[in-house]
Amino acid sequence: MGTGTPNPLQAGPRRRASLVALVFLAGLAAGACRSSAPPAEPPAVARTVPEGLARAADGEVQWRHEWVRGAVFYEVFVRSFADSDGDGIGDLPGLVAHLDDLNDGDPATGRDLGVDALWLMPVFASPSYHGYDVTDYEAIEPDYGAEDDFERLLAEAHRRGIRVIVDLVLNHTSSEHPWFREAASSPASPRRDWYVWRPDDPGWTQPWGGTNPTWHPLPSSPGGAFYYGIFWGGMPDLNYRNPAVLTEMERIADLWLDRGVDGFRLDATRHLVADGPGALQNDTPETHAVLEAFAAHVRRRHPEAVLVGENWTDTATIATYFGSTERIAGGDELPMSFDFPLAEAILEAVKGGVAEPVATTLAEVERLYPPGVIDAPFLTNHDQVRLATQLGGDPVRLRLAASILLTLPGAPFLYYGEEIGLPNGPGGGDDRLKRTPMPWNGEEPGHGFTRGKPWFPFVVAGPEVSVAAQRDVPGSLLARYRELIRLRHASEALGKGEIEVLDTGEPALLAYLRRAGDETVLVAHELGASPVAATLTVPGTVLLTESPEPLLADPGAKLRARDGALEIALPPGATGIWRLQ
């Protein structure tokens, strides 16, 4: 959402589970041969599915998400990414001009970040700066460019092997959308039932707390009509009890998928159908039914398209949004949801120097998610205080957070600027402070973002907080992100494998195995302030070589095998990644 949804996870303590070894998210690629060679030339993104390939034996269309598992996504706020024409507003041609920074499509080059996919925050016409209140689902926001600029972005991204998903706001429109204007014009309007109405205000408030109302008086009908809008009066909720609304959204989804987008990030998915006050505005059976129907429609038409839901809640509830994996591998509802509890756990672990929050949350994911689904871990997004601010700009903790995120199973999401340690703007309460222009270089006044006046001020951070200042600096945060993404691509285990968290006996030592086929990789992070030395017992039948192959080892990180166990030593704040076999 674009309005600063409060974090419902802060409401209660996380359930604690014992630190146990665990296995989850068995990779689809188990058994596939591994290669330590550099990844092959990325294929141009295939747009067509050969007839019949996507159908299972029973005729049910299956997802084709091989490309998703292990992929690294990058969240872009177009308004703040790069301005091509000097009006101070980031735009699609500006993004195209920087695609080579994100992934130049050539595995032999080493200066690009190397991400596999982009998530564009809303790019449809909207009166707001953030775009989460749409006025035309079929048109590109004019601030961002013309329709053919979007076609060019897709073509240029796909040429580099980068997929593109776009934000689709199903839950609500802008109150300025022609549908709502028509619906509000008269109780007899044929569009009236596209929104949710009552003659009175039942006094409901937002389910995440506070006193903000979710029913709003229609100004043109004072005292006579109230409409439902869970976020605010400028965002009236669509009425999914009216089948015509879902049919229209399916048509819009087809339109963009036919134009070439690779899927959607779906906003506020747990609020689609409200059924009463308080918590009855979340996670209703009708909401699940709408998502299942929408997903089935997308899967039948575009089985390679991915859907990522914003279900900002606990692990057990997120797990329900995958639906069933009995007939549809990966889930017959949303095939991905952002892992908010894991994001919070990584931050807690890195801030507190303790491994337990991450180990516990991964154990819950293993226990509660259906088998074989794809997790969507991340650190922060556009609704959260930026990582660098939460970690006080500490370069060691920033590196640790990245090193954890990019060695987890699933498809990790980065938020633009995170890779250079961009902090929030000063102050609080203004969501734009989390969404400030990208500093490409240190050159005043435009920082490589614009040659004009930026739409919102730059964050005044250190001279090292820009792409240019870090790109060619070994040991920079950007270099660490780049290195981790390349490792993920070069290792089947790191990219697509299962995870097994190890009981290290050391509270600050987070260690896990990633396995796929005959490849096993050990990942270890010392989160505390002191050096650690520990002996790790590796479960299963790993054939330990005496000197495991280091894939990434911070200075002082050491590992050797002795007597069937692993002796590890890590300085404080260090990460080590070794291929065991």
Residue 348 interacting with Ca ion (CB under 5 A): no
User: Considering only residues 19, 23, 87, 233, which one is a binding residue for Ca ion as defined by CB under 5 A?
Assistant: 87
Residue 310 interacting with Ca ion (CB under 5 A): no
Residue corresponding to tokens 């505390």: 528
Of 116, 267, 383, 526, the active-site residue reads 267
Distance from C-alpha of 262 to C-alpha of 291, rounded to nearest angstrom: 18
The residue among 87 and 464 lying less far from Ca ion, judged by its C-beta, is: 87
Q: What is the DSSP letter of 68?
A: T
Query: Hey, is 447 helix, strand or coil?
Result: coil
Residue corresponding to tokens 């839901």: 309
The residue among 409 and 454 lying less far from Ca ion, judged by its C-beta, is: 454
Least separation in angstroms between CB 450 and Ca ion: 7
Site string for Ca ion, 91-110 (x = CB under 5 A): x-------------------
Site string for Ca ion, 29-68 (x = CB under 5 A): ----------------------------------------
| 359 within 8 A of 17, measured Cβ to Cβ | no
Least separation in angstroms between CB 95 and Ca ion: 10
Least separation in angstroms between CB 79 and Ca ion: 9
Least separation in angstroms between CB 90 and Ca ion: 6
The residue among 89 and 404 lying less far from Ca ion, judged by its C-beta, is: 89
Query: Hey, is 461 helix, strand or coil?
Result: coil
Spatial CA neighbour of 13 closest among 271, 319, 269, 348: 348
Whether the bond into 222 is cis, omega within 30 of 0: no
Distance from C-alpha of 177 to C-alpha of 179, rounded to nearest angstrom: 5
| 533 within 8 A of 567, measured Cβ to Cβ | yes
The residue among 90 and 234 lying less far from Ca ion, judged by its C-beta, is: 90
Residue 551 neighbours by CB under 8 Å, 6+ apart: 487, 490, 491, 494, 521, 577, 578, 579
The residue among 125 and 552 lying less far from Ca ion, judged by its C-beta, is: 125
Residue corresponding to tokens 């039932």: 193
- 378 forms bridges with which residues in the sheet? 413
Burial-class residue 113 by CB neighbours within 10 Å (0-12, 13-18, 19+).
buried
Give the Cβ contact number of residue 473 at 10 Å.
12
Residue 149 interacting with Ca ion (CB under 5 A): no
Least separation in angstroms between CB 155 and Ca ion: 20
Segment lying near Ca ion (by CB under 5 A), choices 78-86, 343-351, 402-410, 502-510: 78-86
Q: Which two tokens stand for residue 235?
A: 């965002």
Give the Cβ contact number of residue 139 at 10 Å.
15
Distance from C-alpha of 448 to C-alpha of 446, rounded to nearest angstrom: 5
Least separation in angstroms between CB 33 and Ca ion: 47
The residue among 70 and 122 lying less far from Ca ion, judged by its C-beta, is: 122
The residue among 86 and 190 lying less far from Ca ion, judged by its C-beta, is: 86
Of 83, 304, 310, 364, the active-site residue reads 310
The residue among 87 and 275 lying less far from Ca ion, judged by its C-beta, is: 87
Residue 85 interacting with Ca ion (CB under 5 A): yes
Least separation in angstroms between CB 160 and Ca ion: 22
Is-catalytic flag, 138? no
Distance from C-alpha of 123 to C-alpha of 477, rounded to nearest angstrom: 29
Residue 132 neighbours by CB under 8 Å, 6+ apart: 1, 2, 3, 122, 126, 167, 169, 235, 267
Least separation in angstroms between CB 143 and Ca ion: 7
Least separation in angstroms between CB 85 and Ca ion: 5
Distance from C-alpha of 142 to C-alpha of 130, rounded to nearest angstrom: 13
Is-catalytic flag, 339? no
Residue 83 interacting with Ca ion (CB under 5 A): yes
Radius of gyration of the chain (CA): 24
What amino acid occupies position 269? T
Segment lying near Ca ion (by CB under 5 A), choices 82-90, 228-236, 367-375, 488-496: 82-90
- The Cα-based distances of 437 to 2, 392, 445 in angstroms read 16, 20, 12
Distance from C-alpha of 235 to C-alpha of 232, rounded to nearest angstrom: 6
Residue 196 interacting with Ca ion (CB under 5 A): no
Residue 89 interacting with Ca ion (CB under 5 A): yes
Stated as kind and residue range, the H or E segment containing 531 is none
The residue among 83 and 133 lying less far from Ca ion, judged by its C-beta, is: 83
Which active-site residues does the annotation give?
267, 310
- Binding residues vs Ca ion (CB under 5 A): 83, 85, 87, 89, 91
